[in-house]
Every structure is written in C-alpha cells, then in structure tokens.
Chain A
Amino acid sequence: MRERLIIVGGLALFLLLFAYPVLRAAVYHTQTSAPQLRLTSQGSTCVAPTDYMRTSHMRLLSQWRTDVVRHGDRRFVAFNGKVYDKSLTRTCLGCHNKQQFCDRCHAYSGVSGPHCWSCHNDPQAATAKVMP
C-alpha cells in the first residue's frame, strides 16, 4: 500500500511538472500576443526586408561588425540599391529604439543576444541619464 502511494505521488508530480507551462500561464494570465514593437521614425525603409530582418538581423549585424572593425568597410548597398552606413548607432538606432524594439522581442523570446551594448551605448538612454 505504501508503495502504491509513492507511485501515485510520483505520477502526480510528473503530471504537475509536465503541466508547468499550462499552470503558469493560467496563474499569470499570459497573453499570446506578440511583443508590441514601436519604431521611433516611420516611413523610411529598413536595410533589408522585414522577413529577413526578423529571422536573420543578428547575422547582418555580425557581418557589419566584422566589416567595420576588421576591414574598415562602412558602405552597405541594400537590396533596393540604397547605400547605408554600416553603423548600429547611426543607422539602426535612427529608427529602432533599444527599449521599445530590441529589448521587447529579445526578452519575449528569451534570447540574451550578442553583447551589442557592451560597446555601443543607447542614445535615448544616454540622453535620459544626462537630463534628469
């Protein structure tokens, strides 16, 4: 009898652990909606199509980093022929905001990401700090 109790307890524990995402979602009233991203400047086009940027922006940024830091090459010709400066601060952050864009999706997906911000500073956050 004692063994049966242990076995049933083990099964209940297994079920509880397996249902952890369901229980946690119920307790926290988790919404399935995608993270709300905000652009600081509307209308201008990105350096690559949205679908590509959504899945592969890290590869592009990594490539830019290599080109600029190791080869001094700052010229990026985009898919539509436009020429951009390969720069996170001057090009990307012109439209995308760290807190309202990068961080939201990265936090949602649990992607710690490369260490962009250990070298680059976030212009908006920097201004906020200077002007209290």
Chain B
Amino acid sequence: MKNKPAIAFLIAATPACAGFTLALFPQARLPIAAAVAYAACCFFIVGIQSRVLRWANTPVPFRIPTTAGQQKSLAWIRPAKLDNPATGIAATGRMALEILCFRSLFRNTGARITKDRMIFRESLGLWLAAILFHWSFLLIFLRHLRFFVEPIPAFVFWLEKLDSPIDVGFPHLFVSDITFLAGVGYLCWRRFADPAVRYISLVSDYLALWLLLGIGATGVYMRYWGHVNVAGIKQFALGLATFSPTLPQGISPVFFAHLFLVCVLAVYIPSGKIMHGAGVWLSPTRNLANNNRAVRHVNPWNAPVKTHTYAEWQEENKDKLKSAGIPLEEDDV
C-alpha cells in the first residue's frame, strides 16, 4: 500500500463529513449525536478496562527491567538510581519520570551522514513535540469540563488562567491551542519528512494524527473564527452527563464534525497504539526494580522437582566415604 496517509485521511475525514451531513437533518441530529457519543464512551471504557485486565492477567515471572545506567553494586560506585532502580521507590521515581517527562524519548538519538562519516547525536525534536502535544491535550481535555459540569468547579478557571496568562487576541488565545497544533503538526510532518519513519508508518499511525489534527482544527475554528452557540453546546454536553440528552437549535455543523471526530478517536484509543497511555504503567521493562542479583526471585508456578542434593547423598554414604578416605564436605555455617 503506497497511499497510507491518503487512506488514513479518508478514514478520518468520514466522521467529519458525517458530522456536517448530520447537521442538515434537524430531526435526526439529537438521537444520532447522542447515540454515537454514548456508544463511543461505552466502547472507550469497556475497551480500556478489558485490555488492561488482559495485561494484568499476563504472567511476568521474571524481572526484565531495561537498564540505562550503572547498577547498584559496591558502595564506592555511584549507581544511577532512576535509570537503573534498585528499590521499589526508585522504580516509582523512574515511572514518574517516564510518564510525566517522557524520559525514554529524551534519550532519542539521530544518525546523520556528514561528508565523510556518519555521526549520532541527540535528537530532541520528537521528545519536544510529544511533550508539548501530550500536556496541551491534557490541559485542553480538562478545560472542556466547563461544558460537562454545572456549576463549574474553580480549578477549571485556574487552568484557563494558566493557559491564557495574558489576553492576546479576541477571544483570548489559549497557549495550549498553539502548542497542541504545533506538537501534532511536527509529529505528522516527521512521518512524511523522515524516510525511515515513513517506511515503518502504518495507516493507523497516520489515522491517529489526522484525527487529532481534525479535532484541533475544528475546535480552534469554533473558538476563534466560526463562533458557535456555546450555551447550547453546554446544554447538549450536560444532557449527556445527566442521561437526558437535549439539543437546542442553532448549533453549528462544525460542532458535529468535532463531536464525531472525538467519538472516532475514543473508539480508536482502546483498539490501537494510543493504549500506550495505559500500557506505560504496566511495562515490565520499566516498572520493576532491577534487583535480580540482590534478591532471589522464584517463578511462582515452578513445578515441584524432586531433588537429591550432594549434602543428602553425602549423609547417606558417610560411612563409605570415610572408609574410602574421601574427605567430607563440612557445613560451612
């Protein structure tokens, strides 16, 4: 398949077009929008829970942490506590660094061919774009609580203030809107521009990016240009939260495109690679302390094996060994 980005784009454009089309049918808007939203929510929750439970039931008999620093050994050798954790607390610290700061991506290197040789060097573009995108997305997600909760809790306003510290433009610009689009834009550009990344990219890789770009573009358009009936949209969102869906007249078609794109993303999340959000917590290569040499770990379902140790054998044949003049191994305890 050569046209993977195009195929993914068509898949992502479908919900957007469906949203615009739905806006043409005033009678069908409410039942279809509500049904799609509820179905997507159910699929999202059940999908995530079932996948995580399946992972939880997968045995991890051995400690298999990947290490990226000096292991704890002799007292005078300084260990890399976070990159090679020896205790549970250090492993927790490592997880926090991974989940909050994307430590692994920070280690990314890139190969570059100069005139006469190939050099490796730090390549932080991916880390920067990822961290901008993820934190912006979290902020945007939490800011959307103002649509789903009434009265609006104070922390939502704190987040808005944090996101728009000075009044730029009108309606006031949110920093996260820019960083979100810049982050996703870079991640998208990278898939096209880097031949190695393009070679390993799948349709689903592009799909996730197109969906995020579509959600960002429709959201930004609704806020800054195509003004929408915000109170009406809040009524719809609150209706979903109280299980009594309602949809006032005069809601922009762009809103339905936005909604359907979010619903498709919610369905895609448990089905694809975005499950790394839950998976990172359960990575045995990250969340286990590297204490294989300090603590003996026994595989809990080892079959009981009948053993006959040398100590037992020597005890049984003590007399014969003595008479033959063979020295006995003493207990060195």
Is B99 interfacial (CB-CB < 8 Å)?
Answer: no
Q: Mark A49-73, 1 if CB is under 8 A from B, else 0.
A: 0010011101100100000000000
Is A132 interfacial (CB-CB < 8 Å)?
Answer: no
Q: Is the CB of B242 within 8 A of A4?
A: no
- Number of chain A residues close to chain B: CB under 8 A: 37
Q: Mark B140-153, 1 if CB is under 8 A from A, else 0.
A: 00000111111110
Is A125 interfacial (CB-CB < 8 Å)?
Answer: no
Q: Mark A1-25, 1 if CB is under 8 A from B, else 0.
A: 0011001101100110010111011
Q: Mark A95-108, 1 if CB is under 8 A from B, else 0.
A: 00000000001011
Is A110 interfacial (CB-CB < 8 Å)?
Answer: yes
Given contacts A4-B56, A109-B234, contact A32 B229 (CB under 8 A): no
Chain A residues within an 8 Å CB radius of B229: 54-55
Q: Is the CB of B150 within 8 A of A34?
A: no
A39 to chain B, nearest CB (A): 16
Is A127 interfacial (CB-CB < 8 Å)?
Answer: no
Q: Given B52, B152, B230, B241, which contacts A11 in the complex, CB threshold below 8 Å? A: B52
- Contacts A51-B250, A58-B171 known; list 4 others, CB within 8 Å: A10-B52, A20-B149, A22-B242, A25-B242
Is A43 interfacial (CB-CB < 8 Å)?
Answer: no
Number of A-B contacts (CB under 8 A): 94
Is A30 interfacial (CB-CB < 8 Å)?
Answer: yes
Is A111 interfacial (CB-CB < 8 Å)?
Answer: yes
Chain B residues within an 8 Å CB radius of A59: 170, 227
- Number of chain B residues close to chain A: CB under 8 A: 40
Chain A residues within an 8 Å CB radius of B147: 110
Q: Is the CB of A18 within 8 A of B241?
A: no
Chain B residues within an 8 Å CB radius of A115: 167
Q: Is the CB of A24 within 8 A of B231?
A: no
Q: Is the CB of B250 within 8 A of A18?
A: no
Q: Is the CB of B156 within 8 A of A110?
A: yes
Is B129 interfacial (CB-CB < 8 Å)?
Answer: no
Q: Is the CB of A11 within 8 A of B231?
A: no
Q: Given A11, A105, A109, A114, which contacts B53 in the complex, CB threshold below 8 Å? A: A11
Mostly helix, strand, loop or mixed at chain B's interface?
A: helix
Chain A residues within an 8 Å CB radius of B230: 55, 109, 111
A28 to chain B, nearest CB (A): 8
- Give B251's nearest chain A residue, CB to CB: A55
Q: Is the CB of A110 within 8 A of B146?
A: yes
B134 to chain A, nearest CB (A): 17
Closest 7 CB pairs of A and B: A110-B146, A21-B148, A21-B241, A55-B227, A7-B56, A110-B152, A109-B230
Chain A residues within an 8 Å CB radius of B31: none
Chain B residues within an 8 Å CB radius of A32: 235, 238-239, 242, 244, 246
How distant is the Cα of A15 from the Cα of B147 in the complex, in angstroms? Answer: 19
B2 to chain A, nearest CB (A): 39
Q: Is the CB of B246 within 8 A of A3?
A: no
Q: Is the CB of A112 within 8 A of B170?
A: no
Chain A residues within an 8 Å CB radius of B56: 3-4, 7-8
How distant is the Cα of A33 from the Cα of B244 in the complex, in angstroms? Answer: 11
- Give B170's nearest chain A residue, CB to CB: A62
Is B281 interfacial (CB-CB < 8 Å)?
Answer: yes
Chain A residues within an 8 Å CB radius of B238: 25, 30, 32
A52 to chain B, nearest CB (A): 9
Is B232 interfacial (CB-CB < 8 Å)?
Answer: yes
Chain B residues within an 8 Å CB radius of A56: 227
Chain A residues within an 8 Å CB radius of B244: 32
How distant is the Cα of A62 from the Cα of B172 in the complex, in angstroms? Answer: 12
Q: Which of A18, A21, A54, A112 has the most CB of B within 10 A?
A: A21
Chain B residues within an 8 Å CB radius of A18: 45
How distant is the Cα of A24 from the Cα of B151 in the complex, in angstroms? Answer: 9
Chain A residues within an 8 Å CB radius of B156: 110
A103 to chain B, nearest CB (A): 13
Within 8 A of A (CB), among B120-164: 145-152, 156-157, 160
Q: List 20 A-B contacts (CB under 8 A).
A: A4-B56, A7-B53, A8-B56, A10-B52, A11-B48, A15-B45, A25-B149, A25-B238, A30-B149, A30-B238, A30-B242, A32-B239, A34-B235, A34-B248, A54-B232, A54-B250, A108-B234, A109-B146, A110-B234, A112-B160
